[in-house]
Amino acid sequence: MVPLRDISHLLRMAAVFLVGLILFVVLRSAFLPKSFGKYGHYRGDALAEITGHPIAYAGHQTCEGCHSDVADSKAHGVHAQVNCESCHGPLDKHGNDPSSLRPEKLDVAHLCVRCHSENIAKPQGFPQVDAKGHSGGQLCESCHQPHSPEFTEGAKK
C-alpha cells in the first residue's frame, strides 16, 4: 500500500480542483439571471422586453375608429383590402394622440407607381400601367380618387 505522504501532492491537487468547482458553483449562482429557465432554456424576462417594444403601425381598425367616412368609401372599391397605413405609413402616434402628429400629404407621384408600374413579374390580372404613357404626365389623383380609385367616365376628385 502506498504511504499517504507519497500521494499527498495528488490530494492537494484534488483539493485545488474541488476549490475550483466550488468557486464555479458560487459564481454561477451569483451571475445566473434569475428568470433563466422559467419557460425554457432562455431568460424569461426576455419575453417582456421583446413585447415591450413600441408600436409604430396602429392597424386599420384603429384608423377606422375615427375615420369611418374614409373606411366606408374604401369598403366598396378596389382598394378595400388596402390598409390605411400601406399608403399613409406608420401612424400609431397619430392614433393615440391625433393632434400630436399630423400625417403628411402623400407624394402621389411615387406612391401609386410603386404598386402600379407595369412589371412582367406582377400577377397578370393586377392593374399595372406604364406611368409615363398612361397619363401623359398628369398626377394619378387627377383622375383616380385614392380611397376609391376606379376610373369612371368624367370622374374627378
Partner 1 sequence: MNLSRRQLLYLLPAAAAAWEFVLAGTPEAAPTYHSAEHWWGMLLDVTKCIGCGGCVRACALENDVPDGYFRTWVERYHVDDFHIESPVVDSPGGAKEGFPQSTLTGGKNFFVPKFCNHCVDSPCTQVCPVGATFHTADGVVLVDQNYCVGCRYCIQACPYGCRYFHPTKNVADKCTLCYHRIVKGLTTACCESCPTGARQLADLKDPKDPIHTFLKTHSVQVLKPHLATGAKNFYNGLDGSVR
Partner 2 sequence: MEGFMYPNEVELQWSVLIVLYPFLTGLVAGAFILASLERIFRVEALKPTYRLALLTALAFLVVAPMPLQLHLGHPERSLEMYLTPHRSSAMAMFGFVYLWYLMAVLLMEIWLDYRKDIVILSRTATGLKRLFYKALALGSTNTSPTSLYVDDRVGWVITLIGIPSAFMLHGYVGFIFGSVKANPWWSTPLMPVVFLFSAMVSGIALVMLMYQLTSGLRERAVDMQCLDTIAKYLFYTFIIDFTLEMLDLIHRIYEADESFRSLDFMVHTKLFLSQIVLQIFLGTVAPLALLAVTQLVHLSINTRKRIYIVAGVCTLIGIFAMRWNVVIGGQLFSKSFLGYTTYKMGFVTREGLGPAIGLMILPFVILYVLIKLLPPWYKKLPAPDSAAD
**Geometric angle at alpha carbon 109, from 118 and 92, rounded to 5°:** 105
Partner from partner 1, partner 2, none binding residue 122, C-beta < 5-8 Å depending on class: partner 1
When binding is defined by CB under 8 A, the residue of 18, 19, 24, 110 that contacts partner 2 is 24
Interacting residue ranges for partner 1, rule: CB under 8 A: 33, 36, 39-43, 46-57, 59-60, 79, 81-83, 85-86, 89-90, 114-115, 117-123, 126, 128
- Site for partner 2 contains 6 (CB under 8 A): yes
Residue 25 to residue 19: CA distance in whole angstroms:
10
Residues lying near partner 2 in the complex (CB under 8 A) are found at 2-3, 5-10, 12-13, 16-17, 20, 24, 27-28, 31-32, 36-37, 41
